Amino acid sequence: MALFSGLSAFPITPMTSGGEVIAPDLQRLVRRIEAGGADSVGLLGSTGTYMFLSRDERRRAVAAAVEVAVSIPIIVGVGAMRTDEAQALAHDAATEGAAGLLLAPVSYTPLTEEEVFRHFLAVASATDLPLCIYSNPGTTNFTFSPDLVARLTAIPSIAAIKLPLPANGSIASDLAAFRAAAPDLSIGYSGDWGCKEALLAGADCWYSVAGGLFPEQAAALTTAAMKNDRETAGHCDDVFADLWKLFREQGSLRLMYAAANLMGLTQAQPPKPLQPLEETLQARLARVLPNS
C-alpha cells in the first residue's frame, strides 16, 4: 500500500512535565499501532503535541519510533513557526529514518497563499522525502484552497494532503473539488467521526486520532470502508459512536491522554498549560472506550 493511504494512526507523545519524551511509553504505543494493523504511524501531529516539544526532543521521538517500527512507515510532523526551523526538523526526521513528512503552515501572523507556497517549497527542498500537506485551519488559521493545492503539486515531493472535514457542504463534494484540482495527489481526512463517510466517498487515507490507541478497530473500519462495504463499515463505526460524541464535544487531545492513562499505556499528562481531563469526563470516557 502507498505511504499516504489506508489508516494512518496518530499517537500522543508521552513526555515528562519538563518536556522530555518518555521513549519507552512512545515505543509501546508505536508497537501497539503496528500490531493493530495500521498502515502508518502519524508521529508528532497535533495529537502528538509537536509544538510543545523542542527540536532535540522531536528528533528523539522520531528515533524512538523508528527503532521499534518493524514493518510500518513513520510519517513525521515538521511544522514550525519559521521556515528554517521546519527545514531543520525535516532534515532531522529524514536522518532518523522517517518515511514521509507532514507539514502544517504554523504561524502567529496569518499567512498569505504566496507565503505558504514559498514555505512548502523551501521545506520540501530540505530532504527527498515525500511530503503531505497538513491542512488544519483550526490551529493554523490558514485554509488551503483547491487552487493553492494544485499549485503546490508542482513541487515534486508533495504527494498528499490531510484535510479537515468540511465546515460546509458534503465530504463527497469537498473531495471532488480537491480531486479535480490535484488528481494525482493522495487525499485523506481527519476528524474521526466523519472519516467513514470520507473513505466511502473515495478518500485515500484516514488520518486517525482514535487509531493511535485503538488501531485494530480503526483498521477494521478502514478496510471495510475502502472496500465500499457499507454495512460492515457502519458496524465498525458504531463501535466508536460514543467516543465520537465526546470528541465533538470536548476535542480529542485531552481525551486521548486520559484514555491512555486509563488503559495503563502511560501516566504522562498533557503538556502545560493544558490540563488533564476533569474527573467527571474521565468517568464518562471510561464507559465509552472501545474494547481494547
Catalytic residues: 134, 162
Q: Please identify which residue in the block is written with the cell numbers 504511524.
A: 41
160: left (phi over 0), alpha (psi -120 to 50) or beta: beta
DSSP state of 211: G
What is the C-alpha to C-alpha distance for residues 92 and 95, in angstroms, rounded to an integer?
A: 5
Which triple of cell numbers denotes residue 258?
486520559
3-state helix, strand, coil in the chain (%, to 5): 50, 10, 40
Which triple of cell numbers denotes residue 78?
515538521
DSSP 108-156: SSPPPHHHHHHHHHHHHTT-SS-EEEE--HHHH-----HHHHHHHTTST
Which triple of cell numbers denotes residue 66?
523508528
| Contact yes or no for 160/126 (Cβ under 8 A) | no
On the question of a cis peptide bond just before residue 146, with omega within 30 degrees of 0, the verdict is no
Count Cβ atoms below 10 Å from residue 190 Cβ, excluding itself: 26
